Structure 1
Amino acid sequence: MSQSNSIILVPAYMDQFQCIGSSCEDTCCTGWSVTIDRATYKKYKKVKDPALAKKLDTVVTRNKKSSTDNNYAIMTMTECKSCPMLSVENLCEIQLNVGEDYLSTTCASYPRVTNTVNRNYEMSANLSCPEAARLALLNPNPMEFFEIKLKKNQKHLFFSQLEPNNYTDNQIMSYFWDLRIFSIGLIQNRSYDITDRLLILGLFYQNLQDIVAAGNTTETPQLIENYRKLIQAGTLRQSLAQIPIEASAQIRLLKELIDVRIHSGAANSRYLNSFEAFLAGINYTDRDDIEAIASRYQHAHDMYYKPFMEKHFYILENYLVNQMYKNLFPFYGNSLSLMDNYVMLALHYSLIKMHLIGIAGFHKSDFNLNHILTLIQSLAKTIEHNPRYLQFAFDYLKKKEFTSIAGMAIFLKN
């Protein structure tokens, strides 16, 4: 897509973001593959610096099996999974020697995520970048969105494209903006606990899924209005308070995920450190029964996680809003239904919260913002690299028939 449209919609933090280079505590040049687009590959073939040209010729390999313009070649990573063009100062030798214009689209765009909605640009960031995570998550004010001028020659990796204007009123996609505004507004409604906001969102999407299945999609605006009134009146508070707390069910999922995590092997050291702290924080062992682990898990929640997060609830609120905006919620993934999109969002939240409860139990009164940022950033990097981990959790919930709102409540509430 051309850049004739010079305006782009972004969360406010994107206007502040810039790469901090060698100061970054978890460089994006390590831990995953780097694809090279066709235009950049051709540039590399014309590099005049003899030493750099020779090195590029050695480490850049054509992708001849499934080549596309964006995935035309690949950078061969080192044995320690680092980019071979990374200097000892953790700076890119390509950018140092021939300039930023020679970065591949992958490298120049990361951590930025670009989508188009009705052919208009939208940009946000993957929180696998530590600096992006800091800017996005640590603002105590609700996340705001602005239109800014697109930087000249900005490279984009396009992830999703929606054209709601192409749909009629009897197709749910035509209500994208109504659903987006309602959903983000609900998650930012601070008169409710963050978990309750997510539960109400689930109730709404379960009702919406039923409406769509019955062929009554035109009732969507009325459903939104009904929920707005319920939320404002506080009618749902009593029902939310009656949802049982079942820590043992969360631990069963965690035990399954622990086995996947141990055997999958694809994680960076920052996440593994957080994972070990999580295990230690609930004194996890294979020998203990579920109820014993659940008791320690709930104690860590009540004593250390809950008091801290009641003061810093905005972190998970900002995380959810960023996920919803970045993934064009609730229409992310062609194979996912509206309710599946909700379940995937709630699953991200649940995994973060469950990890943080154990980490809080490990650090106790020393639990702080850095522990939260490290977990969210490193888990994002691990999940982006290892979709099997998240897919396993999703499939587990499906298998156990927990993907209704009643089932998801078990994993959301403590």
Structure 2
Amino acid sequence: MKKNVRMIYPSYIDKFQCIGGKCEDNCCIGWDIDIDKETFKKYHKVTDETMKKMFQKNVHNNKYCTNKDLDYGRIKLNEAKRCPFLDDENYCLIQGKFGEDYISSVCTQFPRVLNKVDDHYEICLDSACPEAARIILGSKEKIEFKESEKNLGKYTMTGILDTRSSEFKDTPIEYFKEIREFSIKIMQDRNLNFSSRLYVLGDFLNELEDIESNKIKEFISKYDIETEAKYYKRESMNYALQVSFFKNVVDSLDIVNESDSDKLKRYTKELLQGYNIKNNQDIIENKEEYIEAFEKYTKEYIENNSYIFENYIVNFIYNNLFPFSESDFMFEGYIMLLFRYSLMRFYLVGKYIYNGKDSVEDMLEFIQIFVKAVEHDKNYRSEILEYIKENSFDNMEFAKMLL
């Protein structure tokens, strides 16, 4: 479908252009590739004998289809977990042979994420793509949003939310746009250090859960970001607690053996060697070393380059319909977002201990790999949220420990 629509989008969108085979990663490697019904039918009508045989061998109906316009069919990856239609230089044989009209909506759209909120379409980029990650995370300027008429093109909708629906009347979702806008405002307040901003975001959403829906706008208008930030004080001992907690998370998820990402496996091995934890006694004995490493890394790399993490969070908030990104409970969205950031930092500090150095380029590369391997793995996400809820970690005390 091709039509012009009113669209809201981050200004960085206009800078993005896929670099194809020059990309150091590839969105056609390691991920299941879904095919919409319209494209699926095209594949099985081609007359080119070579491509016809490839389609018959590698493109099948998806028995777990959830939406015919999204995942009616699926491409079977080869043993190297590559799309069989990639050539030796990582270019698409289908597009080269038949043109862009024969590319599925998923392949055409990525790394763009498209949502619809009320009457507006919203589009942004997914930092699982290396080139998108460089554009999103690498800019020292705050992410700003524009509105104009754009061609929708061939698309797949990620999320649809009508805040005016009767089912959301007298619920916080009715005020989704105001809540999300203020959440972004908190995260872009550069008068505060990054941990303080994350603390305030949690405090804001935690308090908001108890506010009557008809008073939400008033609450937002009176909420003082910088006053609330004064209640936050970083506890150094929490860094040692995080080492223990996230070491157990990495072990329980068995990332070294279970992840489909060879790069994430390598990073995991580096961080485990960096922390050098054989048992819980090691954490107690080495806690001062861990605290020093976290404090040094936070000061030299995170606070000095806080725009990277600010842009990651703001982009996440926008493209995941935050804070309703996990459920109708706003604080669940917050605690999972904080978990992602804190797990990233755990990795970054472990790599820093192992390598003795870091750089902006290496940070951007790691975040892209992390997003692709962890954020796009629904099993990881569901396991983590279930673990948090089962252990009653969905509260501000646990959030303070993660900060």
TM-score (ref. length: structure 1):
0.90
Which residue matches 1:17? 16
Q: Partners in 2 of 1:130 and 1:248 — Cα distance? A: 32
- Are 1:196 and 1:240, in contact at CA under 8 Å, matched by a contact in 2? yes
Task: Map 1:21-40 to 2 at 5 A.
Answer: 21-40=20-39
* Alpha-carbon distance, 1:270 to partner: 1.7
> For residues 201-232 of structure 1, what are the alpha-carbon distances to aligned partners after superposition, in whole Å with 9 as ceiling and x for unaligned?
11111111122xxxx211112211221xx32x
Task: Map 1:77-96 to 2 at 5 A.
Answer: 77-96=77-96
The worse-fitting range, judged by mean Cα deviation, of 385-394 and 12-21 is 385-394
Q: Partners in 1 of 2:63 and 2:389 — Cα distance? A: 38
The worse-fitting range, judged by mean Cα deviation, of 265-274 and 159-168 is 159-168
Which residue matches 2:215? 219
- Are 1:301 and 1:361, in contact at CA under 8 Å, matched by a contact in 2? no
- Are 1:251 and 1:293, in contact at CA under 8 Å, matched by a contact in 2? no
Q: Does 1:241 find its partner at 2:233?
A: yes
Task: Map 1:174-323 to 2 at 5 A.
Answer: 174-211=174-211, 216-227=212-223, 230-231=224-225, 234-241=226-233, 245-262=237-254, 265-286=258-279, 288-323=281-316
Q: Which amino acid aligns with 2:53?
A: K
* Alpha-carbon distance, 1:8 to partner: 1.6
Which residue matches 1:343? 335
The worse-fitting range, judged by mean Cα deviation, of 182-191 and 63-72 is 63-72
* Alpha-carbon distance, 1:265 to partner: 0.8
Q: Partners in 1 of 2:380 and 2:290 — Cα distance? A: 22
> For residues 330-357 of structure 1, what are the alpha-carbon distances to aligned partners after superposition, in whole Å with 9 as ceiling and x for unaligned?
1224x44111111111111111112111
> For residues 232-277 of structure 1, what are the alpha-carbon distances to aligned partners after superposition, in whole Å with 9 as ceiling and x for unaligned?
xx43344212656412321232122121342661231121222222
Which residue matches 2:322? 329
1:388 to 375, 379, 388: 379
Question: Structure 1: which 5+ residue stretches go unaligned?
Answer: none
Q: Partners in 1 of 2:343 and 2:329 — Cα distance? A: 21
SS in 2 for 1:158: coil
Which residue matches 1:379? 370
1:399 to 373, 381, 390: 390
- Are 1:9 and 1:121, in contact at CA under 8 Å, matched by a contact in 2? yes
Q: Partners in 1 of 2:66 and 2:384 — Cα distance? A: 31
Q: Partners in 2 of 1:148 and 1:223 — Cα distance? A: 31
RMSD, aligned CA: 2.1
* Alpha-carbon distance, 1:55 to partner: 1.2
Q: Aligned residues: percent identity?
A: 33
- Are 1:249 and 1:410, in contact at CA under 8 Å, matched by a contact in 2? yes
Q: Partners in 2 of 1:73 and 1:359 — Cα distance? A: 40
Q: Partners in 2 of 1:192 and 1:105 — Cα distance? A: 41
1:370 to 355, 358, 361: 361
Which residue matches 2:162? 163
SS in 2 for 1:392: helix
Q: Partners in 2 of 1:48 and 1:288 — Cα distance? A: 67
- Are 1:115 and 1:158, in contact at CA under 8 Å, matched by a contact in 2? yes
The worse-fitting range, judged by mean Cα deviation, of 103-112 and 142-151 is 142-151
* Alpha-carbon distance, 1:65 to partner: 5.7
Change (3 A) 1:24 1:122: same
SS in 2 for 1:116: strand
Q: Which amino acid aligns with 1:9?
A: I
* Alpha-carbon distance, 1:389 to partner: 2.3
SS in 2 for 1:210: coil
TM-score (ref. length: structure 2):
0.93
Q: Partners in 1 of 2:21 and 2:86 — Cα distance? A: 10
> For residues 68-109 of structure 1, what are the alpha-carbon distances to aligned partners after superposition, in whole Å with 9 as ceiling and x for unaligned?
412221111101111000100111110111111110111111
> For residues 264-313 of structure 1, what are the alpha-carbon distances to aligned partners after superposition, in whole Å with 9 as ceiling and x for unaligned?
61231121222222223323334753323543332222234421222211
* Alpha-carbon distance, 1:359 to partner: 1.7
Q: Partners in 2 of 1:112 and 1:370 — Cα distance? A: 22
